[in-house]
Amino acid sequence: MSDLRPRSRSIDGIARHGRPRPSRPALTLAKFVAEAIAVVAVSAASVAGIAVTQITSNIKTWPCPDRSRAHCRTSDRSRTASMS
């Protein structure tokens, strides 16, 4: 004899494997809000990345007149610009 339950021959619906879980409106709302936040976060990161790329591509650099200095000062930049 088998330990399995005898199966009925009639079909009472599509889902024969178990009872559907009861709906939980609060959980459904929390999932929706979490998904919306994820979409907004990815979109914001994308827009920020594009903005950074555009800003950094517009930065113009020039060499320091005195190469022994690590960084040019603002006054050096104005002198270099006026010398050109």
Tens of pLDDT, residues 19-41 = 777 889 999 999 999 999 999 99
Can you give the pLDDT at residue 44?
98
Place of tokens 């005195």: 66
% the chain with pLDDT above 70: 56
Rounded CA Rg of the chain: 34
Domain boundaries, the chain: 24-58
CA dihedral 10, 13, 16, 18 (to 10 degrees): -130
Identify the residue with better confidence: 81 or 44: 44
Give the single-character DSSP code of 58: T
Can you give the pLDDT at residue 77?
47
Among 10, 84, 45, 54, which Cα is nearest to 76's?
84
- For residues 36-48, give the mean pLDDT: 98
Can you give the pLDDT at residue 7?
60
By residue count, the chain amounts to 84
